[in-house]
Chain A
Amino acid sequence: MTDSRSDAYEIVTEALADGKPVDWVKLAQSGAFSGDELRALKLVEEIHSRGIGGSSTESEQPALPKGLEFGDDLGHGSHGRVVSARDLALDREVAVKILGERESLSPEARSRILSEARTIAGLDHPNIVRIHGIEEIDGRIQVTFEKVRGRTLEQVVAEQGPLAPLEAAHVALDLCRALSAIHQKGVVHRDLKPANVMRAEGGRIVLLDFGIAASSKAEGPSPDDGAGTPLVMAPEQFQSQAQVDGRTDLFALGNLLYWMVSGRFPFAAGNLRSVRERVMNGDLTPLTDVRPDIPPGFAMIVHKALAHDPDERFSSAGEFELALRQFVGGVKATRTSARPWRPIAVAALLVAGLSLALIAFFGGFFGGSQDYRFDAQMCRREAEKDVPLHSGEAIHLGDKLVLKVEMSEPLHVYVLNEDEEGVMHALFPFSGGELNNPITRGNHRLPGTKEGDPLYWPVNNLGGGAEYFLVVASQKPVPAIEDLLNHIPSARSLDAENSRDLVFRSIGIVENDKQLPNEESSRDRRMGLEQLCASLASQPLRREGKTSIFIRLRTEAR
């Protein structure tokens, strides 16, 4: 036994014996304990705790934040009791999570929970439960959040049976967007499971219960890692918790997808020891064994997400989302028999292996290849300032978008846009601009300038619900994109005097649609960003030094 392990044991057993707060984050970071040991130690803490989080005194009503009136007890989530309450001023129902005494007393836990709540509250994402406030009352942290009316996936599948692959894929798409948003903030959920996902009335998918989430940037793994649900835990969660990152959530999402369409978990066994052995050995039951009618493309996505080695899984929620969109698009195309290339595109994309990171999908930043450096950040122009936009964030009517880029050498840069309907447009390069490829090394703001004045892309249309952006940088012109530019509408500068707008159809209103192909013909010719990505991925991009960034922005009425 190493000294550090002995020391860690002394610290934690002393705290548990004395009934004092345990610095779980520090313990997990030490890597001194296995996941099972942490779970055992946390169980001792739970047994020793008389706080509300695990209390026998549940009939006692703690004080709620001012202006809230107690409603029903909604149960016990991780680390705390959850009650419904009525906001008397706003006359609406909310949910309140009342954390256990230990969580409230531990400075580390308090700091982590407060930080996490602020992070989640700042996201304002439709697929993430909204946090209304956080207060400390009688030494306990209380988090007030929206009360989502609907059913958990657990309830949905229990009532309706396994979902169709397409329906499950749509649920997973929303979860990818939620995960993408939290991962970009350095938060890992760690307990993605059927009971933590709600299908709200109206169909909105909402990710709940960030009670054991932890900031992977600031603090590294949390030893709440002893918590979690073993049946959906990734191999790294059973081992040293230091390796837990966003890909752990993607493994759980793979688990969830498998379960949604089959009603079974891929590593199910007769007892937890067997579950653990199966997970650790990567011994999963092939999805097609339990549901033979599953489309191969869907099964490939699920199995990739469930890869034992995190490096073999999807590298990001955005990449996972892209694969799901490929599948969804392929199914729709197959049904309409209008897109014979779609299934091929799906296969090509998956076989090419997005994990090779030839195409990387990030919200706003990408460290370039070995050959050069290329960073890009989509921004909203506000009060003469560029405010960064991250994937999944909302853009609104009237917003002005710019892309800030930084490059270590001259590069060809392409910015392409596609809306929910699949209509693509080229945002950059465009005819008549003063900034052209190759762009010189250094910092630039796209789309550039007009007679010295900065240009921007305006949001003039909120149709479709989302806009997708692909940014590609290359040391040489990319033939596939250059060819594409000849077939899809491009942004263009307005002729109006002093205008700084660039107009394109997906987001902006067409100023003069006589010069642009009509929508139907555009659709017929379009490749789709996914198809384009697949095409690029099949080429030796790394050797040519290409870099790409994929950004998704929601369109939302103010």
Chain B
Amino acid sequence: MAKPDPSSDSSKLLATGDLLTRARSGERQAIEALVVRYRQPLEHLLHLRLVPNARRLLETQDLVQEVLTRALRLLPRFEYRGIGSFWSYLRSVALNYLREAARKGSRQEPLTSTGDGADLKSSDPGPLQETCRREEFLAFEKALTRLTERAREALLLRIELEQPYGVIASECGFPSAGAARMAIMRAIKQVSQEMGRDGFKE
């Protein structure tokens, strides 16, 4: 089965800046276009971080809608510097949303794998296992912060937005697609080593 590639029509993505300008002015079609374009990667990002219980209780698509609504509401504060920066903005809104949801949730019913501070002494293996996942994602986010901004954006554009190397090179200022690819490979290695060195500590 072919993997969906949101960047197959890169002209649309290159127009994200224009869409954002129109969305800021309240143009409904522009907002809908942004929602359509970023819904799937956001769904994937949220799905991975939602614990199974929460997946049963909440529709990921509803969460995506909430996150996009919040992101668009906060759009006036956002400075667009390319697709990478917009995706970083969107995912930070999504992760903040999940953290807030996790704090509101009870200890017995954690919503997400992105929060922190869960107690592994819990007697229930369900939350314990979820805590493992939570700490994995925490370690991943922490490792991301140790990358340069360019490497981080390139990596996320590749693995979360599935952008072609050519687009990433253009967006992040690499001299060629090959250079972007090498940078992404180095970023993966660095993230892995950071996570391995820290042993998934918070």
Given contacts A10-B185, A17-B185, A55-B44, A231 and B121 within 8 Å (CB-CB): no
A36 contacts chain B at the CB level, 8 A cutoff: yes
Instruction: Give the Cβ gap from A536 to chain B, nearest Cβ, in Å.
Output: 39
B170 contacts chain A at the CB level, 8 A cutoff: no
Q: Is A272 in contact with B48, judged by CB distance below 8 angstroms? A: no
Q: Is B193 in contact with A56, judged by CB distance below 8 angstroms? A: no
Instruction: Give the Cβ gap from A357 to chain B, nearest Cβ, in Å.
Output: 33
B198 contacts chain A at the CB level, 8 A cutoff: yes
A138 CB contacts on chain B under 8 angstroms: 1
Q: Nearest 9 CB-CB pairs, A to B?
A: A56-B43, A37-B196, A273-B201, A40-B195, A56-B44, A263-B123, A13-B185, A48-B159, A36-B196
B interface residues with partner A (beta carbon < 8 Å): 1, 3-4, 40-48, 52, 60-61, 119-121, 123-126, 128-129, 131-132, 135-137, 139-140, 143, 158-160, 162, 181, 184-186, 188-189, 191-196, 198-202
Q: Count A interface residues, CB 8 Å.
A: 58
- A359 to B110 Cα, complex, angstroms: 48
A10 CB contacts on chain B under 8 angstroms: 185
A interface residues with partner B (beta carbon < 8 Å): 9-10, 12-14, 16-19, 33-34, 36-37, 39-41, 43-44, 46-48, 50-51, 54-59, 62, 75-76, 101, 138-140, 154, 157-158, 193-195, 229-231, 259, 263-265, 268-276
Q: Is B185 in contact with A47, judged by CB distance below 8 angstroms? A: no
Given contacts A47-B160, A101-B3, A273 and B200 within 8 Å (CB-CB): yes
A193 CB contacts on chain B under 8 angstroms: 125, 129
Say whether chain B's binding surface is mostly helix, strand, loop, or mixed: helix
Q: Indicate which residue in B43, B119, B202 contacts A57 across the interface (CB closer than 8 Å).
A: B43
Q: Indicate which residue in A33, A56, A231 contacts B125 across the interface (CB closer than 8 Å).
A: A231
Q: Is B201 in contact with A272, judged by CB distance below 8 angstroms? A: yes
- A43 to B194 Cα, complex, angstroms: 13
Given contacts A48-B159, A56-B60, A271-B202, A229 and B196 within 8 Å (CB-CB): no
Please list 21 pairs of residues, one from A and one from B, whose beta carbons are closer than 8 Å in the complex, sorted by A's number.
A36-B196, A37-B193, A39-B136, A43-B137, A47-B159, A48-B159, A48-B162, A51-B3, A56-B44, A56-B46, A56-B60, A101-B3, A154-B124, A157-B123, A230-B200, A231-B132, A259-B125, A270-B120, A271-B135, A272-B131, A273-B199
Q: Is A43 in contact with B47, judged by CB distance below 8 angstroms? A: no
- A43 to B49 Cα, complex, angstroms: 11
A154 CB contacts on chain B under 8 angstroms: 124-126
- A486 to B61 Cα, complex, angstroms: 75
Q: Is A41 in contact with B192, judged by CB distance below 8 angstroms? A: yes
B180's closest neighbor in chain A, by CB? A17
Q: Is A272 in contact with B191, judged by CB distance below 8 angstroms? A: no
Given contacts A16-B188, A50-B3, A56-B47, A36 and B132 within 8 Å (CB-CB): no
B40 CB contacts on chain A under 8 angstroms: 50, 56-57
B181 CB contacts on chain A under 8 angstroms: 17-18
Given contacts A13-B185, A54-B47, A57-B43, A272 and B132 within 8 Å (CB-CB): yes
